[in-house]
């Protein structure tokens, strides 16, 4: 199962009237946005760990 960064959101499509669920999976987010979120002081520790694991998986980021 993919890792989620936030909660899923249900949105109603105004044209068709159907409900659509949007999931916030971490593998969809840009690398720059993940780095900014990791460096933010308001980010929870468990979210920082998820972000760190994703950045290590993608490569190119070194944690010291």
User: What pTM, to 2 d.p., does this model score?
Assistant: 0.82
pLDDT, position 60: 82
Count how many Cα atoms sit within 13 Å of the Cα of residue 57 in the half-sphere of its side chain. 11
Q: Which two tokens stand for residue 29?
A: 């987010």
Q: Which two tokens stand for residue 21?
A: 């669920």
Whether the CB-CB separation of 34 and 54 falls below 8 Å is answered with: yes
Q: CA-CA distance, 3 to 30, in Å (whole number)?
A: 15
What is the DSSP code (8-state) at residue 54? H
Cβ proximity of 24 and 4 under 8 Å: yes
| pLDDT tens-place values along the chain, 64 residues long | 899 999 999 999 999 999 999 999 999 999 999 999 999 999 999 999 999 999 999 998 888 7
Question: What ranges do the domains of the chain cover?
Answer: 9-58
């Amino acid at each position: 199962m993919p890792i989620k960064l936030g909660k899923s959101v249900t949105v109603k499509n105004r044209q068709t009237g159907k409900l659509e669920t949007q999931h916030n999976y971490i593998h969809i987010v840009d690398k720059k946005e993940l780095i900014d979120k990791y460096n933010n002081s308001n980010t929870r520790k468990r979210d920082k760990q998820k972000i760190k694991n994703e950045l290590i998986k993608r490569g190119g980021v070194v944690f010291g």
